[in-house]
């Protein structure tokens, strides 16, 4: 009897396998972003307050009924020979009729997600750059970034390859227009 020869795993396969086997402490989030494993501590209270204020407005004011998840990870296309990015946004919004969050897997495809939300944390550069590129590659139509250091909120739209072609930045305290399917002005006055 001959032993079956197995092809050696590629660097990308080893990285993905190691990432999926991580046992992160409760409350921490592990993500695979552009070939790098990133582990983040639990968010602080101000971070969660911003997320809550946005979720409340989106669910109450959007033109169509939306569902929200702050826990589902997204499987996104990656660039440069890296394994698929695995990112856990602070929030994802999808039309309720799609019921995207169903199923047992904690990682879901990004098809149908209308908007992802990030509030800058201890590593704001990742939220501003690497995650933005990941979401654009995934074809997510809208990326909303609350940048606490810059005291601003930015809506990135029109994804094309590795980035978004358009962005609109407003200082915290000023409203920011969200396009269809939301179609309302996000009030950021309570963010100050």
Q: Where are the domains of the chain?
A: 43-191
Distance, in Å, from the CA atom of 181 to the CA atom of 171, rounded to the nearest integer, reads 23
Distance, in Å, from the CA atom of 127 to the CA atom of 18, rounded to the nearest integer, reads 23
C-alpha distances (whole Å) from 145 to each of 14, 38, 87, 119, 132 are 32, 19, 15, 6, 9
Do 32 and 19 touch, CB atoms closer than 8 A? yes
What is the architecture of the domain spanning 43-191?
Alpha-Beta Complex (3.90)
Taking only the tens of pLDDT, the chain with its 192 residues reads 455 567 877 877 778 788 788 888 888 888 888 888 888 888 888 999 999 999 999 999 999 999 999 989 999 876 655 558 899 999 999 999 999 998 768 899 999 999 999 999 877 998 999 999 999 999 999 999 999 999 999 999 999 989 999 999 999 999 999 999 999 999 999 998
- Which residue reads 């296309």 in tokens? 77
Buried b / exposed e over 44-82, threshold 16 CB at 10 Å, is eeebeebbebbbebbeeebeeebbbbeebbbbbebeeeb
**Predicted pLDDT of residue 184:** 98
């Amino acid at each position: 009897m001959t032993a079956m020869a197995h092809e050696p795993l590629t660097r990308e396969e080893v990285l993905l396998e190691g990432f999926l086997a991580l046992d992160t402490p409760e409350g921490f989030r592990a993500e695979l972003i552009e070939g790098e494993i990133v582990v983040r501590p639990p968010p602080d209270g101000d971070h969660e307050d911003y997320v809550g204020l946005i979720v409340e407005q989106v669910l109450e004011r959007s033109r169509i009924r939306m569902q929200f998840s702050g826990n589902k990870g997204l499987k996104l296309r990656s660039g440069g020979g890296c394994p698929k990015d695995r990112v856990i946004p602070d929030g994802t919004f999808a039309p309720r009729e799609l019921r995207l969050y169903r199923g047992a897997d904690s990682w879901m495809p990004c098809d149908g997600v209308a908007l992802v939300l990030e509030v800058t944390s201890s590593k704001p550069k990742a939220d501003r750059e690497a995650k933005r590129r990941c979401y654009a590659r995934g074809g997510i139509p809208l990326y909303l970034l609350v940048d606490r250091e810059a005291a601003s909120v930015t809506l990135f739209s029109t994804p094309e390859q590795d980035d978004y072609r358009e962005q609109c930045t407003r200082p915290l305290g000023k409203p920011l227009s969200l396009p269809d399917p939301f179609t309302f002005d996000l009030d950021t006055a309570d963010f100050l």
